[in-house]
Amino acid sequence: MSFSQKIIRKLRTSWTPRSLLLFVLPLPLIPAMLVSLIKGDLSQTIVYLSAITLFLGGAILLRRGLVRGAEHSYRSFATTYKRSTQVPIKTLGAVAVSLGTTVCSYFAVQHSLVFSTMLGMLTFLGVYLSYGLDPKREKPTVKGGYGLTPNEIMDVLLQAEQKIEAIEQAGRHVGNKELSVRLQRISALAREVLLMLEEDPGDLHRARKFLYVYLDGAQKVSAGYARAHGQTLATELENNFREVLITIEEVFIEQQKQLIDNNIVDLDVQIEVLSTQLKREGIL
């Protein structure tokens, strides 16, 4: 499965009925909150508002956790390592939903504290069985070799990941749908190459120009255009940027093909073309 296909799968996962089901929970509480507000019952209004906030917060966290879980299922060690220190959002989401249930049960329905607590615990268990919690099993760490230590390989791949994320961020701010789509394609191609390098770090030497010229240049030119776009709408700037993106996409495809074919020949001609364009645009 290509990276672009995995991205589509991730997006579908994030918007499935399963991921959106918890957003339905607070809906019955909204009329109740409005009624209590009209009656001037401030304490009940605060109770309903608190429960709604907990339910919605938990739903948002769980949905994001599902997306992260989808990423974890196909990301290799570099991104897993990078994200391993993040907050366990699915666990926090489950806690928020269980607290919302407890608040509703105890303060709104006026069940006993013991019953409300047990109901909250059962809710947490139900969320766990339905959505699972944050993955704990770390993926294997890369072994050293190829003249590089494991930490050096990790650093190279993490730096590449950061550049790809910067390209994606720039794509959200270019203000042009066509250019944004081109940047999305470039990001997807770059991630496919990065995943191939993660699977076989022995190709790092052959892909050094991709990592330090292609990717770096793509990140700088996209970030530069995103900044300039907010200041000017010059057609010439847009056309130059489009030409650079076309070249970048072509050489990304060629780099991917080289790695698939295990061809040792470097892409010197494409590198020179891209470098010339980037220098002409003042990027390098």
Best CA proximity match to 81, nearest among 150, 7, 138: 138
Q: How far apart are the first and last CA of the chain?
A: 34
- At residue 230, the 3 state secondary structure works out as coil
Q: CA 156, 157, 163, 164: dihedral to nearest 10 degrees?
A: 160
> Per residue of the chain (284 residues), what is the pLDDT tens digit?
444 444 444 544 455 666 677 788 888 889 989 999 998 889 999 999 999 999 999 998 888 887 776 665 545 444 444 444 467 888 899 999 999 999 999 998 889 999 999 999 999 999 888 887 776 554 444 555 556 677 777 788 888 888 888 898 888 888 788 888 888 888 888 888 887 777 777 777 777 777 877 788 888 888 888 877 655 556 777 787 888 888 888 888 887 777 766 544 444 445 555 556 556 655 44
Best CA proximity match to 252, nearest among 191, 166, 203: 191
Q: What is the pLDDT of residue 98?
A: 95
Q: CA 58, 64, 65, 67: dihedral to nearest 10 degrees?
A: 150
Best CA proximity match to 100, nearest among 132, 58, 63: 58
Q: What is the pLDDT of residue 67?
A: 72
Written as one letter, the residue type at 160 is A
Q: What is the pLDDT of residue 5?
A: 46
Q: What is the pLDDT of residue 241?
A: 81
**216 exposure class (CB count in 10 Å sphere: 0-12, 13-18, 19+):** middle
Sorted by where each begins, the domain ranges of the chain are 3-131, 150-280
- At residue 231, the 3 state secondary structure works out as coil
